[in-house]
Amino acid sequence: MSLLERVRPNRPQTPPDEVDAWWQPAVSGALTAAGSWLVLALPALLVWVFTEHTTVGWGEAMGVASAGWFLAHGAPVSVGATSVSVAPLGLTFVILAVTVHGLRRLLDRTEAQVRGTRWPLLLVRRLVPGFLTGYAVFALAAWLVTLASPARPSPAGVLVTLAAPLLATAWCLVRRHTAGEESGPVGRWVDSLPRWLVRGVGPGLWGAAALLGLGTVLVLGMVAARASTVAGLYTAVGAGLFGGVVLTLGQLVLLPNLALWALSWLAGPGFSIADGSSVTLAGAHPGLLPMVPVLGALPAEGTWSRWLLLVLALPVAVGALVARRSCRTMARLASWRSRMATAAWAGATSGIVTGMLVALSNGSAGVERLRH
C-alpha cells in the first residue's frame, strides 16, 4: 500500500445494479429533448406575449413551436392542405449539439460510478435504450401539443425525431473510442473495419464542413454587397423592433440552408427558390420571391460572363485538401493503394454528408410557386 493510499480515505464503490435506475436514463433523454424544444418554445412564447391585439392563444403558439421542432428534425409539417418540408438546418445543428451534450453527461456520470466489466453491459442494456425511450416519450408529448395549432406533423414524425439521439449516440461512442475510453460494442465494431475506412471519416467530415463554410462566406458576402436591398425589404415588411429581431433570428437558423444553396451555385447546378426562378453560373432569373429580407441578397436578373465558371475550381480545391488531409493520417511508407482508398472514402464521406444536408435543406416551403 502506497503512502497516498494510506492518506486517502476509502470510498465505497457503488454496486453496478444500484447506479442509474432504469428510469434515470429515460429522464435524461426526456430532459435533453425538452432543452432543444425550449429553444423554439421560449421565443414563440415571447412573441405571443409582446404581440399586441393578437387573436392567437398561447396553446396555439406552443403548438407552432412544437411543429417547428419536428420540422428541424426533418419531419414534414402540414398546415391545412400545405406541406412544409424544408428543415431549418440551424435549428437541426442546435438540436444535435444539445443531444450530444446531454448524452455525454449521462455517459460520463455513469462511468464515473461504474467501472470494469459491467460498464459495457450497462451501456447496451440500460443507458442508450433508456435515453432513446425518454426522447421518444417527450417527442410524443410534443406531437400532442401540436394538435392545438394548425401546423401538425404526422404521427410518424415521432419516429423521425429519433434520428437525432441515434446520431448523437453514434458520435459520442465513436469519440469515446478514439479517446481510448470504453464504448461498448461500437468500439469493437470500429476496430473490425478496414483502417482506410476509419481514417477517411475525419477528413471527410472536415471536407463537408469546409464546403458548408465556403457557401456561408458567399452568402455573407452577397448580403454585404446588397445590404441596401436587404434593408429595404426590412422596411417594407414593417415588423418593428421586436418583430425585426425575431425575423432576423428566423433567417439566421436558415443560414446553413442558404449556404448549401450557394454551394450548389458554386458547384454548377445552381438552385431555385420558387417555380420559375433559377440562379446558375450562366445567369440569374430570381423571378417573384416572398418578402424575406435575406432573399434581397440574390443577384438581379441577368446573364454573366463565362469567366465565372472559374469558381468551379473552389469545390475542387476543397476536394484536393480533403485528399491531402486523408493521406497525412497514414504512415509515410503506406502503399499507394491504401492512400487511394483512404482519399476516395474521405471524398465520398464529404459527398454523402453534404448530400444528406442538401436533401434536408430542400423541399416544399408553402403553396403554389413555393411548393417545390
52: buried, middle or exposed (CB in 10 Å: 19+, 13-18, 0-12)? Answer: exposed
Q: What percentage of the chain exceeds 70 in pLDDT?
A: 90
Output 271 or 48, whichever has higher pLDDT. 271
Look at residue 355 in the predicted model and tell me its pLDDT. 93
Look at residue 13 in the predicted model and tell me its pLDDT. 46
pLDDT tens, 61-81?
A: 888 899 999 999 999 998 877
Average pLDDT for residues 130-147, to the nearest whole number?
Answer: 94
> Alpha helix locations (H) across 114-239?
118-122, 128-145, 157-160, 163-178, 185-191, 195-199, 201-225, 227-237
How far is 245 from 239, CA to CA, in rounded Å?
9
Look at residue 35 in the predicted model and tell me its pLDDT. 95
Look at residue 252 in the predicted model and tell me its pLDDT. 92
CA distances from 82 to 46, 124, 152, 368 (A): 26, 41, 11, 9
Orientation of helix 240-252 relative to helix 227-237, angle to 10°? 130
**Which of helix, strand or coil describes residue 79?**
strand
Please give the mean pLDDT across all residues of the chain.
85
Judged against a pLDDT cut of 80, whether residue 142 lies above it is answered with yes
Look at residue 299 in the predicted model and tell me its pLDDT. 87
> Which triple of cell numbers denotes residue 339?
492512400
Average pLDDT for residues 124-130, to the nearest whole number?
Answer: 84
Look at residue 2 in the predicted model and tell me its pLDDT. 43
Residues in contact with 172: Cβ distance below 8 Å, sequence separation at least 6, in sequence order:
100, 103, 104, 107
pLDDT tens, 308-348?
A: 889 899 999 999 999 999 888 777 777 788 889 999 999 99
Look at residue 367 in the predicted model and tell me its pLDDT. 62
Judged against a pLDDT cut of 70, whether residue 21 lies above it is answered with no
Look at residue 14 in the predicted model and tell me its pLDDT. 45
CA distances from 274 to 31, 250, 286 (A): 38, 19, 8
Look at residue 34 in the predicted model and tell me its pLDDT. 96
Judged against a pLDDT cut of 70, whether residue 115 lies above it is answered with no
> Which triple of cell numbers denotes residue 227?
445590404
pLDDT tens, 248-279?
A: 888 999 999 999 999 999 998 888 887 778 88
> Alpha helix locations (H) across 10-76?
23-50, 58-72
Global pTM? 0.86
- Count of CA atoms in the C-beta half-sphere (13 A) of 300: 4
